[in-house]
Amino acid sequence: MGLSAITVLGAARPGVVAEVTSVFTRYGANIEDSAMTLLGGHVAMMLLVSGRVPPASAFPGMTVTAAEAGRGHGCEQPGLGYVLTVHGPDRPGIVSAVSGALTAAGGVITGMTTRLCGSLYVMIADVRLPPEADVAEVMRRLAAAGAGLGCEITFRPAEAEVL
Amino acid sequence: MFGTAQLLGVLASGVSRQLIGAPHPVLTTRALPVDPADPGVVAAAADLLATMRRSHRCMGLTAPQIGLGWRLLSVDVSRHPRTRSCAGEFVMANPRLVSASRWERAREGCLSVPGITGDVSRATRITVRGEHPGSGAPVTLHADAFEARCIQHQLDHLDGVLFLDHVTGTRSVHQGARERCDR
């Protein structure tokens, strides 16, 4: 069955998730992976959906995009998991500088949240590093990036808790 | 050295201070040990208590959060529904964690980081040692549950660490109350 990547963006209001998901149900589509968050006053949903994709007109008042998504791209990145925290004064280029330092070490960001709280910018990222990565070198690169941005950076192993 | 009555009077006469919000260097710098008998330290302890009492949501505070890079914390979890052990309202100088066990993850926030909360894993049973401001007498405190979490959050502040530095991943960050600090 085909897989589609769908984004839904609209004003946050009570019942919006039920409203959106009921459209997929009505069209016989199955929501597989999904993520939803509130960004400012907006609700943002990203969904991988199998089956018949509803037309954008089925979501009145929402901005909807859909694209075909292939299967088998792998749901597990190889390597070891880490959590990165960056916080400091808001300024342009924080995510770019920090993600660049990770990419240079072969790291992959598998999830990211950023928040602006007043003048405080916060970035939390789930990161996977290849097994052969020099973690000390990664931390030196991150520390250098943080110093250049006036930000505090912590980089620590992710808790596994698989029992 | 303060007499007991004099000390109680000083601790009751603190002044509520401006609360420092992140980003600020004093919140990311390791605080310095203090002389618990120093009158300035006792006055700061009184101010911590007065500042903590000002907000009904404030159950713990540290000197860095009122702009002082000193190892002083205050705690009062008596109004929190998840409280088990409860030492009441107290202030401690030069506190240090001497034992910790039974980690659990829970959501916490901070008045110095308004608008965001995060899931943090912390010990639910701890022992802390420090000194009483004024007399300098050694203090040992055993705490569990929410009081243990609150004390560890404050100990982090004294090391220049925010709860954001401990969140367990991107899905562990949440919107929180936007009760503003003063700056």
In the prediction, which pLDDT does A79 show? 85
Measured between alpha carbons, how far is B78 from B7 in angstroms, rounded to an integer? 22
Same fold, A3-69 and A80-157: yes
Q: What is the mean pLDDT of chain B?
A: 92
Q: Closest approach of chain B CAs to the CA of A6, in angstroms?
A: 20
Please determine, for residue A47, whether its predicted confidence score (pLDDT) is greater than 90: yes
The reply to whether residue B167 touches residue A85, judged by beta carbons under 8 angstroms, is yes
Interface of B with A (CB under 8 A): 21-23, 28, 113-116, 118, 121, 162, 164-165, 167-173, 175, 180
In the numeric block, the tokens 């069955």 are attached to A1
pLDDT in tens, B75-128: 999 999 889 999 999 999 999 999 999 999 999 999 999 999 999 999 999 999
Count of pairs with CB atoms under 8 A, one residue in A, one in B: 62
CATH 3.30.70.260 fits A3-69, yes or no: yes
Contact A22, A30 (CB under 8 A): no
* Residue whose structure tokens are 């008596």: B78
> What percentage of residues in chain B have a pLDDT greater than 70?
92
CB B133 within 8 Å of CB B45: yes
Residue A57 pLDDT > 50 = yes
Residue B175 DSSP class: E
Query: For residue B56, what pLDDT is reported?
Result: 82
* Chain A hits for B164, Cβ within 8 Å: 85, 87, 122, 124
Interval B13-62: pLDDT, tens: 899 999 999 999 999 999 999 999 999 999 999 999 999 999 888 999 99
- Which numeric CATH code is attached to A80-157? 3.30.70.260
ipTM over cut 0.90: no
Residue A36 has pLDDT above 80, yes or no: yes
Domains annotated for chain B, with CATH where assigned, are 4-175 (3.90.45.10)
Q: How far apart are CA B73 and CA B64, in angstroms?
A: 9
Rg of chain B over CA atoms, in angstroms? Answer: 15
Q: What is the mean pLDDT of residues B135-156?
A: 97
Q: What is the pLDDT of residues B168-180, one digit of tens each?
A: 999 899 887 766 5
Task: Return the pLDDT at B183.
Answer: 43
A111–B169 C-beta distance less than 8 A? yes
| Contact state of A124 with B169 under an 8 Å Cβ cutoff | yes
Q: Which residues contact A22 (CB under 8 A, 6 or more apart)?
A: none
Instruction: Spell out the domain ranges in chain A.
Output: 3-69, 80-157
